[in-house]
Each structure stands twice: as structure tokens, then as C-alpha cells.
Chain A
């Protein structure tokens, strides 16, 4: 049996004295494509940062692929990709310098994929040699996604990966996610407020509220679920948006 990509047990995280994660248990299985949902400020970014060891937790434990976070091997680290909501790092580098820097950190790096995505996603030769801080928000976000996909991670964590993208850019991203990522059996955790995009790709959803995962399940079952509560004749149809409001209110 292979260990789950993510296993969290009783994770607590406080900012000042305010609890953000409060005894949170969560397990993400191999190959799951799961949307993490919650209100603004519910702690989705914090949860992702705690998963990745970017923030120290105040209690509980996190294991990635069966290894405790504080003793993560380089080999396991290389199996993980992350797109932060907003990255201010490496802004002085050009995209090519930044990608070369990351390439040196990973045992595996798919140059053909990187070049293909740069070409298809409109990061032309001129942009590739400009400092990243002079790229638009959308260009920076696309670059951040390319960086996270280049080493072909087995676990991909995406924090609002399309917030700066226009509809065409979002569709390009979804296509890459479908054909280049999900097809390979990659485990994907992502947060977004664009529920229609989430519905297209996520098979499972998890709702974060009050510092815990309060509801988790197969998205189709959750949407169909209303039928089971009230009987077939009085089915109250609900969309993902209805469900979001119902669960997170």
C-alpha cells in the first residue's frame, strides 16, 4: 500500500491568539483531484502553506507520502509542485533565469514541456528576458504554473491558480490540467472561487470552515445528494454555488 500524498492529523495553527486551523484532520488520496473551498479568510492558503511546510504548525502532524513534514527527504520534496496565490519572489530575475534556477533544484525537469507552455501561453522571447516584476499579473501567474509543472510533480497544490487570468487564459490552464496533469494520475489540490472551473475538473470537494474540514465528498454525489434528504418528488436542485453558500454560511 502506498502512503497518501497528504495526511493531516489534529493540525492547529494560530495567528497571534486567533486559531485559523483548529484540530484539522484531512487526508488526500493518491490520484484525487480535489477542490478546497471556503469563505475568504477561512484559512485555505494557510492550510496549503502548512501542508507544504512553509508555515510552522502549532499542533498536530502532517505527513506527505508517508514522511513527516519536518523530516522530508529531497526525493519526496521533488514529487511536489506548488503554485502560490501570489509570489513576490525572484522578481528581479528574468523568467529564463528563474526557470534555470529551479531546474538545478530538481532531479527531473521537462524542458520540452516548459518551452511548449511558454510558447503556447504567450511568454515570448522578449518577455522571457525581462525581469519578472515587469511582467503583468497574468503573465507572472502563468509563469508560476509552468514552474510548478516543469518537474512533473505527483502532488500539485494550487492556491487560486487562475485569479489573475482572463477566461482564455483560464481555459488554457484547464486544458493543460486535463491533458498534462490529470491524465498522468497526478494528485491535485486546488482552491478557487471560480466554481464553474472547479466543477469542470474537481471530482471531490472539501469545505474548510471554523478551522476544520466540515464537509468532504464526491462532487456529483453532493450535488445529487439533496434528492436523498427530501425524497424524489420534492428534490430541491442545487448548484455548487448553492452548496457553497449552504455549507460555509
Chain B
């Protein structure tokens, strides 16, 4: 079990995704992808709020939604931890669904730039290789 620091998160204010939703999506992805393992402790609301310079209520809201979804659970004396069986862990289809919002955004920008679909796919393949 690991205790994570607030550096876990990165947010982009001013985007079309409200900050709370960016946090929810990041935790879901990291829990599904294994960067967050069951039992791992998340940084406290206050630490996270200060590190990201956001209202603590926004962090609470994200954590609360993730708790409702069963991705996180509240543990006495520890705070929020990753739930033992995150609902979507393991299932490739569900993990793929988590990627959809990000790709939809990219697709919209690609259309705005009037790019050729093949060129986009080539670029994405290249990026996947780079970060592997």
C-alpha cells in the first residue's frame, strides 16, 4: 500500500472539463490502469487543494463522487483509499471507455484543424510508441 502525494494530479483550469471532473477522470484512469493499487491512500483534501490551488470543496466533490462509484472508499484514520475491487479494473472494454472523453476532445480539435484521419492515426501510433 502506497500513500500518494498530490503531485499525482494535474489539472487544467479554463478547459471545457470542470476541475472536479478532471480529478474524477484521472483517479478512474489510474485505478483502472494500476498506477493506483487497491488500498493505496489518496492525498488529503486539504493537501490536494493547496497543491493544485483549488477550492477544497472541489476536491471533496471529486472524492465523494468516486466513493459513490465505488472507486474509492473512506477508511478511518487513513482517509480515502482505492477500493479493493475498483469496478472497472481488469476489463479492457471498460478501460477503453475511460479513454473515450479524451479522444473525443482530440477528435474535435483534429476536425477543427481539418486534418487527414490517416495522418492523425499515424501521429497517435507514434505518440503511443514514444511514451511506451
Contacts and interface: CB of A to CB of B under 8 A. Distances in A.
Contacts of A171: 53
Interface in A192-219: 195-197, 199-203, 219
Contacts of B19: 199-200
Interface-central residue, B15, B20, B49, B53, by most chain A CB under 10 Å: B53
Interface-central residue, A33, A201, A242, by most chain B CB under 10 Å: A201
Chain B contact residues (Cβ within 8 angstroms of A): what range? Answer: 20 to 34
Contacts of B108: 237
A234 to B, nearest CB: 12
A178 B54 contact: yes
Interface stretch (B28-36, B55-63, B76-84, B115-123): B55-63
Contacts of B58: 203, 220
A57 to B, nearest CB: 31
A19 B81 CA distance: 55
B56 A182 contact: yes
Contacts of B16: 223, 237-239, 242
B103 to A, nearest CB: 13
A174 B15 CA distance: 19
Interface residues of A, number: 26
Nearest to B17: A237
B20 A220 contact: yes
Chain A interface mostly:
helix
A67 to B, nearest CB: 28
A27 interface: no
Nearest to A202: B55
B93 interface: no
A175 B55 contact: no
Given A200-B19, A237-B105, A183 B56 contact: yes
A6 to B, nearest CB: 19
Interface in B16-45: 16-21
The 9 closest A-B pairs by CB, nearest first: A237-B16, A196-B13, A196-B14, A199-B13, A220-B18, A174-B53, A200-B54, A223-B18, A239-B16
Interface of A: 33, 171, 174-175, 178-179, 182-183, 195-197, 199-203, 219-220, 223-224, 237-242
11 contacts: A33-B55, A33-B57, A171-B53, A182-B55, A182-B56, A195-B14, A199-B13, A200-B55, A224-B18, A238-B16, A240-B14
Given A201-B54, A220-B58, A220-B61, 6 more contacts: A183-B46, A200-B52, A200-B54, A223-B16, A223-B18, A239-B14
